[in-house]
Amino acid sequence: MSTATMPLAGPGTRPRYGSMSNDRKWAMRWSYFFLSLFVVFFLTPPIYMFITSLKTSAEISAATNPWWVFNPTLDNYKELLTSNTYLIFFRNSAIVSIFVVTITMIISVPAAFALARMKFWGSATLATGVFLTYLVPDTLLFIPLFKMFATFHEWTGIQLINRWWVLLVIYPTLTVPFCTWIMIGYFASIPKELDEAALMDGANYRQILFRVFIPVALPGLIAATIFAFTVSWAQFLYPLAFTTSADQLVLPVGIITTLIKGDVFNWGQIMTGALLGAAPPLIIYAFLMDYYIAGLTAGATKG
């Protein structure tokens, strides 16, 4: 790619070519130097989480070097992974995220297929509407939703507030628009000849979707799945507003409400809890980084 290309001129430019590659070399060295600085800036908080998670309460409150662990211990991990409440938060987060990912895919893949390939009345408007929906933030909707749930309770007697499964109902509003949007992009990029060929072979729409589109657009599907999972796992405002009792909480809210008691911060436990809570998205990211990045850029570069 960016290797020094030979200039097309004669011998007169020779020395200049040498200087250019020299420039490149220096540009590269400087790039490495500055990138290292930025990596330090970007990775300090997670590394500090890890450092703190290995400390005892005594060492945290001692006036020693905070960036070093003198007596590493796994007590924080042991305590959290055997504590019932933390495991419940983890379980709630996992159940909610897996369900939401499933619901999201069931809704957005057929919808994206319909919007990308089968024109119907208002489909273009709907595609734009999907994108606009994606821009409506949770911070605008949580108050009316809160009141809607209360009204729903008055009418039907079914309580939605403080039930973890209410999150299954509202998280899709955050994931479905984006996933539909990027799947439209991926589906639209599939050459028309493929589905025409399938139609000629006598396939119906369901078969075209499952045998042609989903296999061909699988990278996009994986990217959308990862996105839906990450968003569900990280969502903080909705569970904070809609769930209160300890057995209904998900991880981000659970860590903040149970590990911080009044003014007492048990920092070792908080950092361990936060790190373990950040682990699932990080592990997925470690293995599927390219899909992650493809999904990120597809949202803006396609469509």
Partner 1 sequence: MVDATMPQSRAATPAVKRGGFHKAMQRRSTIAFLMASPLIVLIALLVVYPAGYAMYLAMLNKSMQRFVGFGNFLFLFKRDTFWLVVWQSCVFAITAVAFKALIGFIVAHFVHNIPNAKQRKWRGMLLIPWVIPPAMSTLAWLWLFDPSYSAFNWLLSFVGIGPIPWTGDANWARFSVILVNIWVGAPFFMIMYLAALKSVPEQLYEAAAIDGASWWQRIWYVTLPMMRNIIAITTLFSLIVTFANFDIVQILTAGGPIDRTHVFATWAFRLGIQSSDIPLGASVSLFMFPILGIAAIFILRDINRRGNESA
The answer to whether 84 contacts partner 1 (rule: CB under 8 A) is: no
**Shortest Å distance, C-beta 60 to partner 1:** 7
Q: Which of 91, 241, 247, 257 binds partner 1 (CB under 8 A)?
A: 241
When asked if residue 221 is in the footprint of partner 1 (CB under 8 A), the reply is no
Contact 232, 246 (CB under 8 A): no
Among positions 19, 125, 140, 158, the unique one binding partner 1 when judged by CB under 8 A? 140
Q: Is 18 one of the binding residues for partner 1 (CB under 8 A)?
A: no
* Contact residues for 223 (Cβ-Cβ < 8 A; gap 6+): 182, 291, 292, 294, 295, 298
- What are the distances in angstroms from CA 290 to CA 103, 176, 240, 276, 277? 24, 21, 32, 23, 22
Nearer to partner 1, 82 or 139 (CB): 139
CB of 135 to partner 1, least distance (A): 5
CA dihedral 246, 240, 277, 94 (to 10 degrees): 70
Task: Please identify which residue in 18, 21, 27, 87 interacts with partner 1, judged by CB under 8 A.
Answer: 27
User: Which residues in the 87-126 window bind partner 1 by CB under 8 A?
Assistant: 106-108, 110-111, 113-115, 118-121, 123, 126
* HSE-up of residue 202 (Cα within 13 Å, Cβ side): 0
Asked if 86 contacts 254 with a C-beta cutoff of 8 angstroms, the reply is yes
Other CB atoms within a 10 A radius of the CB of residue 263 amount to 5
Binders of partner 1: how many residues, by CB under 8 A?
Answer: 110
E strands, the chain, are 260-261, 264-265
Give the per-residue contact string, 159-198, with partner 1 (x = CB under 8 A; - = no): ----------xx-xx--xx--x----------------xx
Selected range binding partner 1 among 71-79, 83-91, 217-225, 284-292, rule: CB under 8 A:
284-292
Q: Are 251 and 241 in contact (CB under 8 A)?
A: no
262 interacts with partner 1 by CB under 8 A: no
- Quote the least distance from Cβ 144 to partner 1, whole Å: 4
